[in-house]
Structure 1
Amino acid sequence: MTGFAAALRERRPLIGTWLVTDNPIGAESLAGLGFDFLLVDGQHGLVDERSWLTMLTHIAARGAGAGLVRVPGNDAATIGRALDLGAEAVVVPMVDSAAEAERAVRACRYVPVGERSYGPMRPVPRAAGTPAEANARVGCVVMVETAEALADIEAICAVEGLDGVLVGPFDLSLALGGAGFGDPAIADRLDDALATVAAAAAAAGIAGGVHCPDADTAAKRLAAGFTFATVSCDLMLLEEAGAAALRGARA
């Protein structure tokens, strides 16, 4: 089996970025740079469900990195919709327990192993074939963002059919008592929490991922045991490149 889901399950190192702006041409450009995946943010980004198809189509047009969608919540209808539109995997936010992770997995898989309703609208290439083949090609990742999820992390990672966990360090920092991401008062606690998640994922044989604000942090986290990372987002990358160009011109 080839494709993003297979790479995730084999715990290959994967690097992606978030797409938070409704900019299909920008998504297409980023898709040509060599990212392993691009994650369309349907929760906090400016991309609504009507634009998921356009974004995913432009990503697929480059034939390189995979197109993923972070859905707004752990809702079977929305998860199925993202997959029908061509997402190679979904990322489900704010999953607090193994039971909630099981619900997400079932929403990603067709009967009899899940409860996804059959009706893919993009038959080539990701949804082609039998429902069983489609099940094998679809990835399911849940986010670890709360104290409850951290406390249940071993059980979450052991959920059958779950392909990976992704730490949201901003919300997790708040859950650990920090004033926000980067708060030095909880830096050690956050590092310990990240180590716990990476170890639990490794023990369960699934992918362990983390969002990182920059490349240096991503390299550090991957070296520390995570198998995939998201680095920054399209809007921040645009602002950073623009600011650098402006500084250089003025100098």
Structure 2
Amino acid sequence: MTTVSVSHPDPGFAARLRRREPLVGYWISLDSPVAVERIAGLGYDYVGVDGQHGVVHQPGWQAAMLAVDARGRSAGVIRVPSPDPVAVGVALDAGARGVIVPMVEDAGQARAVARACRHHPVGTRSLGGPVRAELRMGSVPAEVDDRVACIVMIETASALSDLDAICATEGVDAVYVGPADLSAALGARWFGDPAAAGALEAALRTVTGTARRHGIACGIHVPDGDGAAKRLAEGFTFATVSSDITHLQQAAAAHLAAARGLA
């Protein structure tokens, strides 16, 4: 296979993440590149595309990354469906600047996905050749590896109990809390169940403290901008705000209430 020399931007998102800079992102659940392009021009540090629970399935990942890149302001990140290394490689070949990997249970899984983000000799990622990743991040494997962020989710009791080892895993750039699943793991009957609120907050302090001790970034999903500011002040280094589908429903409901004099 012939390699093409391609210009690329500075390391950007991955470098900022590793420096533990405060970053704010937005969440995309809908398969609409037009909407993604609008959001990507607002100034969020990154736009996270949900390939696990949203309706953006694998054929839509590349279109979403194209839409993000079209505005030149945000980094495109994809949450893959599972810790499957194949899914990680597909997302990165689509041009994602990072992957968020759900349901990582322990340091062994964390190591496997971290290696899936990197090429030989430190990883297992296959050379992609002339795909979108090469256009955005270059064709030298080690340099591409530097521009990619590996973010693993902490959302199960097993992950919480192995948190120290996960954070110490070579190649893991950040941990990311899924508060809904972590709440369920801590005994919540639904997300927001007050019976588990204290346990969740204690777990969040453990996550931020452990990540800080190991010098890696630490993120969380939040319902709104105020929630992002709160969590960043508490020690998280990045926060992802709500989702397009949630905001679409909220806006439509508010307008309906206003039109009927119910607001």
TM-score range, shorter chain: over 0.9
Is 2:136 the partner of 1:126? yes
1: CA distance, partners of 2:133 / 2:238: 27
Partner of 1:54: 63
2: CA distance, partners of 1:83 / 1:123: 7
Partner of 1:17: 26
Aligned residue type for 2:102: P
Question: What is the CA-CA distance between 1:123 and the residue it aligns to?
Answer: 4.8
**What whole-Å deviation, never above 9, does each CA across 1:179-207 have from its counterpart, x for those lacking one?**
01111001110000001001111111110
Partner of 1:79: 88
Question: What is the CA-CA distance between 1:250 and the residue it aligns to?
Answer: 3.7
Partner of 1:227: 237
Partner of 1:88: 97
2: CA distance, partners of 1:250 / 1:16: 34
Report the secondary structure of 1:140's partner residue.
Answer: strand
Is 2:185 the partner of 1:175? yes
2: CA distance, partners of 1:49 / 1:125: 20
Question: Which 5+ residue runs of structure 2 have no aligned equivalent?
Answer: 1-9
1: CA distance, partners of 2:254 / 2:229: 22
Of residues 30, 40, 46 in structure 2, which corresponds to 1:37? 46
User: Structure 1 stretches (4+) deviating beyond 6 angstroms?
Assistant: none
Given that 1:126 and 1:134 are in contact with CA atoms closer than 8 Å, whether structure 2 keeps it comes out as: no
Partner of 2:203: 193
Question: Which 5+ residue runs of structure 1 have no aligned equivalent?
Answer: none
Question: What is the CA-CA distance between 1:153 and the residue it aligns to?
Answer: 0.7
Is 2:116 the partner of 1:101? no
2: CA distance, partners of 1:44 / 1:112: 33
Given that 2:29 and 2:50 are in contact with CA atoms closer than 8 Å, whether structure 1 keeps it comes out as: yes
Aligned residue type for 1:11: R
2: CA distance, partners of 1:194 / 1:123: 34
Report the secondary structure of 2:137's partner residue.
Answer: coil
Identical-residue share of aligned pairs (%): 53
Question: What is the CA-CA distance between 1:214 and the residue it aligns to?
Answer: 1.9
Report the secondary structure of 2:136's partner residue.
Answer: coil
1: CA distance, partners of 2:133 / 2:175: 27
> Would you say how many aligned residue pairs link Structure 1 and Structure 2?
251
TM-score (norm 1): 0.97
Q: CA RMSD in A?
A: 1.2
Given that 1:209 and 1:229 are in contact with CA atoms closer than 8 Å, whether structure 2 keeps it comes out as: yes
Given that 1:126 and 1:137 are in contact with CA atoms closer than 8 Å, whether structure 2 keeps it comes out as: no
2: CA distance, partners of 1:240 / 1:37: 22
Report the secondary structure of 1:112's partner residue.
Answer: coil
**What whole-Å deviation, never above 9, does each CA across 1:7-29 have from its counterpart, x for those lacking one?**
10000111112111101100000
Question: What is the CA-CA distance between 1:129 and the residue it aligns to?
Answer: 3.3
TM-score (norm 2): 0.92
Aligned residue type for 1:178: A
1: CA distance, partners of 2:235 / 2:141: 33
Partner of 1:165: 175
2: CA distance, partners of 1:250 / 1:12: 45
Report the secondary structure of 1:217's partner residue.
Answer: helix
Question: What is the CA-CA distance between 1:243 and the residue it aligns to?
Answer: 2.3
2: CA distance, partners of 1:167 / 1:143: 6
